[in-house]
Structure 1
Amino acid sequence: MIHLKKHIQKLFKGVIISSLMISAFLGLEEVTKKASLAGPGMIEFQWDPDPNFKKLRSYQSSDERLDRAIYYFFLRSSERKTGILKLSIKIPDYFEAKIKPEKLSLCQAKIGGWQEKTRCVKEIPADFEVSENQTSVEVYPAQPIPVDSKTYAVVMKVWNPRKSGMFQFHAYAQSPGAMPISSYVGTWTFDVD
């Protein structure tokens, strides 16, 4: 009887230790999930991969629903083959956030990392037009965005949408020249939880 009692106590102690370890692990996961930076993850899945799809670099300050966020749409030097006279950003119709032209800006940007934050280095004068149905933004820089080694960004300050989801914003650039043609630059992907 004493041997059985010791065996039950030992088994009970093992169950308690295991459950404490599991709960500590789940708690740690929740803490690290909230502290993680918003933005696209390491893995992206596409149902029907398009060979013409090009993922552009982006950053968003918050991925929480109905939270104030700053979206950075980066245009790195490798993504600009020609100068950009006009940039068109196609917004998904289910991205239900109110986009105001006065909350948009264009700048020369510094992409952040572990040591420093993403930030604008130099503001670039530009005019912005937002379509009435909020599905496109037209960016008209005062001077065409040059082909150089610098990174540029369109910065958008909005309240995140009420509904969570993954949102893809497509970029089309019009180059200066005798025949200005708009061509696909790439796609920025954002998540709202």
Structure 2
Amino acid sequence: MRRLLSAVAVTSFLLTGFPVITWAQSLPGLTLFSGVKSENQLPFRLDFGGQTNSWDRYILRIPEKKMKLAVAQFAITYPNYYKGSFDTKKVEVKVRGKKVALSEVKWDKEGRVLEIFPEEPVPAGNKVELVLSNVQNPAFGGTFYFNCQVLSPGDVPLLRYLGTWIISVN
């Protein structure tokens, strides 16, 4: 009986002693001194942990409270020191969990903007996810501010700022 209890104790110690692997990184969490007001920080998830020089999937979320107008175009801008790459064929827009048909996705590398055009405008008041699959994370880590801007249908052709995803690559 004593050996059995010792074996159980050692096994439970070994199992709880190993670090837990984090499969996804997500925010918003506690961000200090970011320069972005908390109400402008947008939630996101990196499905494969945001490791440098590796493939990842970015799920960039826009809460329904931010979607005050219908959206005909999403524009994601990022800083010039972000040296990752995007696969425009692997971009999806999901509204309340359902895929939306896209007419075009453009990546302007020099302008540092990823433009996403749904076939039909995304209705106001919906939770939206912009899913970027096959993203090649940059070789060097850092914190990158991805800004979300939108264009409403029939609106003056000026993009409106919705918020910022503060993404860390380790």
Note whether the superposition's TM-score is higher than 0.5.
yes
- Structure 1 pair 183/135, CA: closer, same or farther in 2 (3 Å)? same
- Establish whether residue 56 from structure 1 lines up as the match of residue 33 from structure 2: no
- Establish whether residue 104 from structure 1 lines up as the match of residue 80 from structure 2: no
* Residue ranges of structure 2 left out of the alignment (5+ in a row): 1-12
Give the counterpart letter for 2:162 in structure 1.
Answer: V
Which has more radius of gyration?
1
Q: Which residue of 2 aligns with 1:43?
A: 30
Query: How many residues are paired up?
Result: 153
Rounded Cα–Cα distance in structure 2 between residues aligned with 1:78 and 1:41:
15
Where do residues 88-99 of structure 1 align in structure 2 (5 Å cutoff)?
A: 88-99=75-86
CA contact (8 A) 1:99 1:134 kept: no
CA contact (8 A) 1:84 1:176 kept: yes
- With structure 2 as the length reference, what TM-score do the two structures score? 0.78
Rounded Cα–Cα distance in structure 2 between residues aligned with 1:42 and 1:153:
18
Report the structure, 1 or 2, having the larger strand content: 2
CA contact (8 A) 1:98 1:134 kept: no
Where do residues 58-73 of structure 1 align in structure 2 (5 Å cutoff)?
A: 58-61=44-47, 62-73=49-60
Rounded Cα–Cα distance in structure 2 between residues aligned with 1:189 and 1:138:
19
Report the structure, 1 or 2, having the larger helix content: 1
Q: Please report the RMSD computed on the Cα atoms of aligned residues, expressed in angstroms.
A: 2.4
Q: Aligned residues: percent identity?
A: 18
Instruction: List 4+ stretches of structure 1 deviating above 2 A.
Output: 34-37, 39-42, 49-53, 177-181
Rounded Cα–Cα distance in structure 2 between residues aligned with 1:98 and 1:35:
23
Query: 1:135 aligned to 103, 112, 117, which one?
Result: 112
* Residue ranges of structure 1 left out of the alignment (5+ in a row): 1-23, 110-120
